[in-house]
Amino acid sequence: MLLIKNGRVIDPKTNYDQVCDILVNNDRIIKIAETIEEQTSEVIDANGLIVAPGLIDVHVHFREPGQTHKEDIHTGALAAAAGGFTSVVMMANTNPVISTPNVLEEVLESAKKEKIKIKTVASVTQNFDGKNVTDFENLLNKGAVGFSDDGIPLRDAGVLKEALLEAKKYNALISLHEEDPSLNGILGINEDIAKSHFHFCGASGVAEYSMIARDVMIAYDCQSKLHIQHLSKAESVKVVSFAQSLGAKVTAEVSPQHFSKTQDLLLTAGNNAKMNPPLRLESDRKAVIEGLKSGVISVIATDHAPHHQDEKNKKDIKKVPSGMTGLETSLSLGLTNLVETKQLSLMELLEKMTINPANLYGFDCGYIRENGPADLVIFSDKEKRVITKNFNSKASNSPFIGEELSGVIKYTICNGKIVYKEK
């Protein structure tokens, strides 16, 4: 048994916020009380620390199979645990793409070996061809939790409608990366700084919000569940809000980088600040924060996208792959840029990183209660740390290296076992 003493326990599902003790046996919480006196083999003194549900990230890239020089499921799991995450959902843009039961089973078999809970989506279309919808029923039966062609927008509205109607049969979720390729230039760099500093055509805002407008209205017509990934534009927030006001079953996420920084980070962090969608304007950063505050955006997800340093160190920024490693800085960015700035309460931040993403997929996690799952994170919310290159991920492509942020993970506990402990 594991006894956690004197921690400030915060549960967003019930708005519970009290200093108390938690007793864990095997993979369940068996008792929560003001004081627990129990002889146990392991005791954690959480005095002065926050005890929260294990964090949940519904948007990660672990690169296995096919791109394991960037990351693999094992190193991705280590990075997740170090960031306080006990459950993650992998995207399907592997090589081969997770479009068939065989590839899906291979990935899930690898995931079973890890100490955290690793789920995956399958692709919406076969090998991301944008034309042929995959066998949803079979893939769901084999363990897929949803569907996404993340990284490759679905250009054909008819294919999207077909996929949404198919997903509706099984109450399954489709998640979309929204950028119309015909309206974009060089991806990963916002159109304003691309023009003024780099002197080429970058990624436009209209490419994002016009495609979102199309897709949320198709979802509204189908009355199917649709999740919009990594919003980055003020107009996108308004479009999602409008669709929700009509009764569309539309949810949305934002990444920590998009509520933390603007396109100006490219001038100091260079290639590591190239990401897709790109960092935008200060007005956009403020708008996505307002979306979090209003509830239009209900989920924070990292879009953890590790790349090998040789790829990120290319001299021509146009040839540099987009993305950043994000699992190990996510909570700190939220604490620093949302809670300390009084944009969100600690309870509200944790809600968007625990119970809300759990509800998106119907996972039995993201909450703290007796007889509930023993998935917990214990952290100091005020302690400062300087971000270094010493990540548990294989990759170190973070634009936040060298920055001082608040929040230090002390323990991550999954299925009742300590899977990460601060060194």
Question: Is residue 359 annotated as involved in ligand binding?
Answer: no
371 among annotated binding-site residues? no
- Say how many C-beta atoms besides its own lie within 10 A of residue 14's C-beta: 11
Helices (H), 231-367: 234-246, 256-260, 266-269, 282-294, 309-312, 330-334, 346-351, 355-361
In the CATH hierarchy, which top-level class contains the domain 2-50+372-381+404-421? mainly beta
Angle between helices 205-222 and 234-246 (to 10 degrees): 10
Is residue 199 part of an annotated ligand binding site? no
> What is the H or E stretch that residue 379 is in?
strand 376-386
Q: How far apart are CA 158 and CA 164, in angstroms?
A: 10
Residue intervals in the chain for CATH 3.20.20.140: 54-361
Rg (CA), the chain: 21
What are the tens digits of pLDDT across the range 314-366? 999 999 999 999 999 999 999 999 999 999 999 999 999 999 999 999 999 99
Q: Give residue-wise pLDDT tens across range 279-302.
A: 999 999 999 999 999 999 999 999
**Catalytic site residue from 215, 303, 375, 381:** 303
Which part of the chain has CATH 2.30.40.10? 2-50+372-381+404-421
Task: Look up residue 330 and give its two tokens.
Answer: 């996510």
Paired residues of 195 in beta bridges:
none
pLDDT digits (tens, 9 = 90+) for 154-196: 999 999 999 999 999 999 999 999 999 999 999 999 999 999 9
Catalytic (active site) residue 264? no
Q: What span, in angstroms and rounded, lies between the C-alpha atoms of 146 and 122?
A: 6
Do strands 226-228 and 174-176 pair parallel, antiparallel, or not at all (unpaired)? parallel
Is 59 known to sit in a ligand binding site? yes
Q: Is 177 annotated as a binding residue?
A: yes
Can you read off the two tokens belonging to residue 400? 């936040």
- Residues in CB range of 141: below 8 A, 6 or more apart: none
Q: What is the pLDDT of residue 382?
A: 96
* Whether residue 413 has pLDDT greater than 90: yes
d(CA 166, CA 294): 31
Tell me the pLDDT of the chain averaged across its residues.
98
Quote the pLDDT of residue 208.
98
Determine whether the annotation assigns residue 272 to a binding site.
no
Is 63 marked within a binding site? Answer: yes
**Alpha carbon of 190 to those of 202, 279, 351, 401: distances in Å?**
5, 6, 30, 21
pLDDT band at 41 (very low <50, low <70, confident <90, very high): confident
On whether the CB atoms of residues 269 and 399 are closer than 8 A, the answer is yes
Going by C-alpha positions, the residue among 370, 395, 374 that lies closest to residue 16 is: 370
Give the confidence band of 34 by pLDDT, cuts at 50, 70, 90.
very high
| pLDDT at position 107 over 90 | yes
Domain 54-361: top CATH class: alpha beta
Residue 230 assigned as binding residue:
yes
Backbone angles phi, psi at 305, to 5 degrees: -135, 80
Helix axes 282-294 and 234-246, enclosed angle (nearest 10)? 30
- Tens digit of each residue's pLDDT (9 = 90 or more) over 7-16: 999 999 999 9
Alpha helices in 188-281, H assignment, sequence order: 191-193, 205-222, 234-246, 256-260, 266-269
Nearest to 15 by CA among 347, 356, 369: 347
**Is 303 annotated as ligand-binding?**
yes
